[in-house]
Amino acid sequence: MTPTPSSYRLVAATGIHKGDRPYQQDQVEILPHPRASGCLLAVVADGMGGKSGGRKAADQVIMTSRQVFDRYVPSKDEAGQNLQQLVEESHLMIKLTAIAFEEEPHSTVAAFIVNPDLSAVMVHAGDSRVYHFRGPELVHRTMDHSFVQRLVNEGQISEEEANVHPQSNLLTGCLGTQQDPPTTIHHVHQMEVGDSLLACSDGLWHYFTPKELGAIVHTLPPREAAEMLVGKARHRARSGGDNLSLALVRVESTA
C-alpha cells in the first residue's frame, strides 16, 4: 500500500561547521517542494579551490539545485533525471564561473529527493556521501569517486585503511573539472517509517563507522542527531578538522 502524506511526516535537520579551516566552503540545504506536499530535496556541496573558489562552486551547486528542483513535477517527472540535470547544470555553471574569475573552483555533490509516495532517489559526484538507514541498519551508501575507493573496490586496501591513506583526498571525479562528472543514481523503491537518509561531506563521515552513524540517526531526533554528529566529529578531529556538513531526513509516523 502506498503511504499518503497524511500518514507520515518528514522530519529534517541540517548541520554545518567550519572545522579548523579559515574558510567555510561546504554548503548544505534542504528544500521543501514549492507545490507538492511530502516532497523535498536535500543537497550537500563540498567546495574546493582556493579561499573563494570553493565557496563559489558550492554556492553554484545550491543555487542550481533550487532552480532545477523548482521545475520538478513529482507526479509526472522522473526524480533521477531531475538529479542528473542538477549535477550537469551545476557542473556547467561552475566551469563558467572559473572562466569569469580565473580560478579553479570545484565541488562535490551529494543529494537526494524524497517523493510524496516515499520513493527516493540519490545522486553523488566526488566523496560526499548519501547513506540510507532502516532503523539503525545501513541499507545502502554511495561509493566515493576517489582514488582510495577504487583501491577498496579492487581489494587492495580495507575501508579502515582507506580512511588513513595519505591520498584519501584524491578524487577521481567531481564538478567543475575538464571531464564531465561521474554520476551514480540510486533508487529507493519505498522508504518506511523509521528510515533515514543522510547526506554529508567527507569532513563528517571520515570520523564515523556506518554502525555509529546508524545508531545516532535512529536513536535521536534529527535536530539532536545533527548536533551530536557535528560535535563528535569536531571532538574526534582534535583541532585538525575539515569543513563539515550534513542533511538528515527521517520518516516518522503521524499516528
Note the pLDDT tens digit of each residue in 53-82: 899 999 999 999 999 999 999 999 999 999
pTM across the whole model: 0.95
How many angstroms separate the CA atoms of 61 and 44, rounded? 9
Contact, 63 vs 131, CB < 8 A? no
Q: How far is it between the farthest Cα atoms of the chain?
A: 55
Q: How far is CA 244 from CA 4, 25, 133, 182, 193, in A?
A: 34, 9, 20, 22, 27
Q: Give the pLDDT score at 100.
A: 74
pLDDT confidence bin for 170, thresholds 50/70/90: confident
pLDDT confidence bin for 235, thresholds 50/70/90: very high
pLDDT exceeds cutoff 90 at 166: no
Half-sphere exposure of 72 (CA within 13 A, CB side): 30
Would strands 106-107 and 40-48 be described as parallel, antiparallel, or unpaired? antiparallel
pLDDT exceeds cutoff 90 at 109: yes
Contact, 40 vs 32, CB < 8 A? yes
> What value, to the nearest 5°, has the Cα angle with vertex 239 and ends 235 and 245?
65
